[in-house]
């Protein structure tokens, strides 16, 4: 079903004033906002402070952080207005926005190390480079086995590097992908632009917001002035790692009841400590009838369903977009993928670091630094910006649902966000920017993991301050029932 809101050309609505950093954050926000047919009047109530560079990068990572967070926050303020409240101002500092996207946090005074020793970039026998993502044991052991390094035998980076001298970079990438592993070969921008997956992405919007079914409008419930914008909105969060969990964390900061649904059998990384702030956290094994029944019961009173499985993964479990729209007419379904919903790589596993490598960023950043080894961006901005764009799309669709009805599907991908980041331009001398001190941006709170010290939310609301009212807790802490409001 049609009615697809198009954010395909984020800078097609006229020219904005530019500087050495390329497009301004306000211009980027305006195009995201207008692409979802949201009212221009809201844009009069946003204040964006700061300029590039705020992190050591030749790319406008601060602009991307600020614009994407501002889009999510302003959409929450729009929901507040649709509930009959006066418009409020949303303000955002670029430095603060970029720091929130660095995923820096301390638990009991210690910064967790989320990276497995095998994870990283390696030269191959043909002079190319590959990045191996080994943070999950099954991905690490699969890559080691593919290289002839027996898992558990004490293989080191040196062992892996020696094994890769026998491989061509693109060959190893393809064989690893065929085995369901997480690997990417480094490409230049020119090489990526000529790739079939890049060509497929060219037809996809930055944030796709599509009506997929009929349903009566569900007016947003009214609350008093002490309420936050999303109070009473129920969100099911079936995501892992960073981008999807960031979406749920943002919605929770704006007042939604967000329930993180984890499988009791799948591993997590320590980032879950930071991204679970504000959320309920439950276990449900969707491979079992009991787990699917539990999720179905939760869905029947949910407003938003967020998932980060590979395309088709949730449909195989009975919770694809059409199935969710049938169980819960009027639901807003949000999908995250690595490389997009169509094209030869649409089902390929991917993480921020891999997408950076495959789409040309590591090569371009290395060129800017004058080095041959791939150079990552200083922040996993593809993850974080995608997470906030998911939250924005969810709220834009929720606003449409409340007035015109329908069931809605929102789609965001890391690779499409990467193309958007490229369109924001380069930052002259950006690599010379030092990493700033973030001490003044940290708050300490009690969590189910211990004392958590992390960056407070960057978006500031003039009437309803963003905050997390639930502490971060381990998966499975709560029962699979919604709290009474």
Whichever domain contains 281, its CATH number is 3.40.50.10540
Least confident of 210-219, 307-316, 360-369: 307-316
Token pair for 343: 């094209």
- DSSP-derived pairing of the beta strands 234-238 and 46-49: unpaired
**pLDDT at position 380, please?**
97
* Residue carrying the six token digits 């660095």: 102
What pTM value is reported for the model?
Answer: 0.94
Residue 344 CA to residue 341 CA, distance in Å, equals 10
Contact criterion met (CB below 8 Å) for 191 and 219: no
* Whether the predicted pLDDT of 429 surpasses 60: yes
What residues make up the domain containing 386? 113-424+470-484
Of 113 and 80, more confident: 80
Task: Answer whether residue 125 is part of any domain.
Answer: yes
Higher model confidence: residue 316 or residue 115?
Answer: 316
Phi, psi of 484 (to 5 degrees): -80, 130
Q: Is residue 266 part of a domain?
A: yes
Say what the pLDDT of residue 376 is: 98
**From CA 11, how far away is CA 23, in angstroms rounded?**
9
Q: CB atoms < 10 A from the CB of 111, how many? A: 11
In three-state secondary structure terms, 191 is helix
Return the SS3 of 85: coil
DSSP label of 117: T
Per residue in 57-105, pLDDT (tens digit) is 999 999 999 999 999 999 999 999 999 999 999 999 999 999 999 989 9
Confidence band of 202 (pLDDT split at 50, 70, 90): very high
Residue 136 CA to chain centroid, in angstroms? 19
**229 within domain boundaries:** yes
Over residues 174-189, the mean pLDDT reads 96
- In this structure, are residues 212 and 355 in contact, taking their beta carbons and an 8 Å threshold? no
Q: Is the peptide bond before 53 cis (omega within 30 degrees of 0)?
A: yes
Spatial separation of the C-alpha atoms in residues 49 and 368, rounded to whole Å: 27
State how far the Cα of 177 lies from the Cα of 360, in Å rounded to an integer. Answer: 18
Count of domains in the chain? 1
DSSP lists the bridge partners of residue 52 as none
In a domain? residue 335 = yes
Domain assignment of residue 87, yes or no: no
Question: Of 103, 101, 130, 129, nearest to 114 (Cα)?
Answer: 103
What is the average per-residue pLDDT within 162-190? 97
Check residue 154 and give its pLDDT: 66
pLDDT above 80: residue 396:
yes
Q: 385, 18, 319, 357: which is closest to 173 by C-alpha?
A: 357
In sequence order, what are the residues at sequence separation of 6 or more whose Cβ sits closer than 8 angstroms to the Cβ of residue 18? 24, 27, 425
Comparing 182-191, 248-257, 303-312, the range with the smallest average pLDDT is 303-312
Whether 1 shows a pLDDT value over 90: the answer reads no
Whether residue 120 lies inside any domain: the answer is yes
Residue 174 above 80 pLDDT? yes
Q: Can you give the pLDDT at residue 485? A: 62
User: Cα-flanking dihedrals φ and ψ of residue 406, to 5°?
Assistant: 95, 160
Measure CA of the first residue to CA of the last residue in the chain; give whole Å: 34
E strands, 157-207, where?
183-185
Kindly report the average pLDDT of the chain as a whole number: 92
CA 356 to chain centroid: 14
Task: Look at the chain and count its residues.
Answer: 485
Q: Is residue 280 part of a domain?
A: yes
Nearest-angstrom CA–CA distance, 142 and 150 = 9
Q: Are 185 and 358 in contact (CB under 8 A)?
A: yes
317-374 pLDDT, tens digit each: 999 999 999 999 999 999 999 999 999 999 998 999 999 999 999 999 999 999 999 9
pLDDT in tens, 114-149: 788 999 999 999 999 999 998 888 899 999 999 998
Task: List the beta strands (DSSP E) in 1-45.
Answer: 4-5
Q: Is residue 11 part of a domain?
A: no
DSSP assignments along 255-266, one per residue: T-EEEEEE-TTS
The yes-or-no verdict on residue 237 having pLDDT over 60 is: yes
In whole angstroms, how far apart are CA 242 and each of 160, 368, 383?
Answer: 27, 27, 6
pLDDT at residue 152 above 70? no
């Amino acid at each position: 079903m049609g009615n697809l809101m198009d954010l395909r050309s984020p800078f097609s609505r006229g020219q904005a004033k530019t500087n050495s950093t390329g497009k301004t954050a306000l211009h980027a926000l305006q195009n995201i906002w207008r692409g979802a047919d949201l009212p221009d009047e809201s844009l009069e109530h946003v204040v964006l402070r700061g300029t590039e560079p705020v992190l050591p990068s030749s790319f406008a990572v601060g602009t991307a952080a600020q614009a994407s967070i501002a889009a999510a926050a302003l959409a929450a303020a729009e929901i507040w207005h649709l509930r009959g409240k006066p418009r409020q101002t949303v303000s955002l500092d670029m430095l603060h926005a970029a720091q929130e996207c660095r995923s820096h946090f301390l638990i009991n005074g210690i910064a967790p190390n989320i990276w497995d020793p095998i994870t990283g970039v390696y030269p191959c026998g043909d002079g190319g480079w590959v990045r191996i993502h080994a943070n999950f044991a099954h991905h690490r052991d699969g890559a080691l086995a593919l290289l002839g390094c027996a898992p558990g035998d004490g293989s080191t980076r040196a062992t892996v590097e020696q094994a890769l001298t026998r491989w061509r970079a693109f060959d190893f990438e393809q064989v690893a992908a065929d085995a369901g592993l997480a690997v990417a070969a480094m490409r230049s921008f020119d090489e990526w632009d000529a790739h079939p997956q890049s060509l497929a992405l060219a037809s996809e919007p930055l944030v796709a917001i599509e009506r997929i079914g009929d349903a009566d409008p569900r007016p947003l419930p009214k609350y008093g002035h002490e309420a936050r914008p999303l109070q009473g909105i129920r969100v099911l969060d079936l995501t892992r790692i960073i981008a999807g969990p960031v979406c749920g964390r943002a919605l929770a900061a704006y007042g939604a009841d967000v329930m993180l649904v984890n499988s009791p059998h799948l591993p997590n990384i320590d980032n879950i400590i930071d991204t679970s702030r504000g959320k309920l956290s439950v276990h449900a094994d969707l491979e079992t009838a009991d787990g699917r029944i539990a999720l179905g019961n939760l869905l029947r009173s949910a407003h938003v369903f967020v998932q980060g499985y590979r395309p088709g993964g949730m449909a195989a479990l009975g919770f694809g977009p059409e199935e969710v729209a049938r169980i819960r007419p009027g639901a807003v379904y949000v999908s995250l993928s690595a490389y997009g919903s169509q094209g030869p790589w649409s089902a390929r596993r991917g993480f921020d670091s891999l997408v950076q490598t495959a789409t040309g960023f590591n090569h371009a950043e290395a060129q800017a630094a004058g080095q041959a080894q791939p150079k990552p961006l200083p922040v996993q901005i593809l993850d974080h910006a995608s997470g906030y764009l998911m939250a924005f799309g969810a709220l834009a669709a929720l606003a449409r649902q409340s007035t015109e009805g329908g069931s809605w599907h929102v789609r965001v991908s890391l690779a499409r966000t990467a193309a958007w980041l490229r369109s924001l331009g380069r930052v002259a001398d950006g690599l010379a920017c030092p990493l700033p001190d973030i001490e003044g941006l940290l708050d300490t709170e009690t969590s189910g993991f211990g004392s958590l010290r992390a960056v407070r939310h960057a978006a500031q609301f003039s009437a309803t301050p963003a905050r997390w009212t639930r502490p971060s807790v381990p998966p499975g802490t709560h029962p699979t029932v919604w709290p009474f409001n």
